[in-house]
Amino acid sequence: MTEDKRVIVCAHCGALNRAPMARLAAGERPDCGQCHKPLFSGHPIELKDAAAFDRMIGKSEIPVLVDFWAAWCGPCRAMAPEFAAAAQQVEPLALLAKLDTEAAPEVAGRFDIRGIPTMILFKNGREAKRQSGAVGRAAIAALAKS
């Protein structure tokens, strides 16, 4: 019998890591095999540009919930602590990430982001669900786990 493993992209170095689902489900938080930093920090991952976004979304085999936001957006700033708290609740079975729409407008355009904050849940590189508007940590965690 082969072990069910999932690919997790390291937010620090971009390396691809395989982790057994049974161990992730048991709450284990592995380190990257290349840079040896934790794959799960309990904090959302900052996706700095389109390349980082494409690698994280395209290669991750666990769900990734992305918060599309901007620094000038009041509701985005208000939701940020809730989003960060939800990261602690859903890891290691899902990752939470943030993408500044001002820094990567091409990604926001690709996903037709018309209002922020907007969260999109990606599974196997594809959009699975979408939620617009600021919500609390319970709703964020529920979306990430759906």
Q: Rounded to an integer, what distance in angstroms lies between the CA atom of residue 29 and that of residue 24? A: 7
29 closest CA partner among 11, 47, 55, 46: 11
Query: Which is catalytic among the residues 10, 13, 32, 76?
Result: 76
CB-based contact 28:17 (threshold 8 Å): no
Q: Which of 13, 32, 35, 73 is catalytic?
A: 73
Distance between CA atoms of residues 112 and 93, nearest Å: 27
Q: What's the farthest any 2 CA atoms get from each other in the chain?
A: 52
Please say if 10 is a catalytic residue: no
32 part of the active site: no
- Residue 4 contacts residue 18 (beta carbons within 8 Å): no
Which residues are the active-site residues? 73, 76
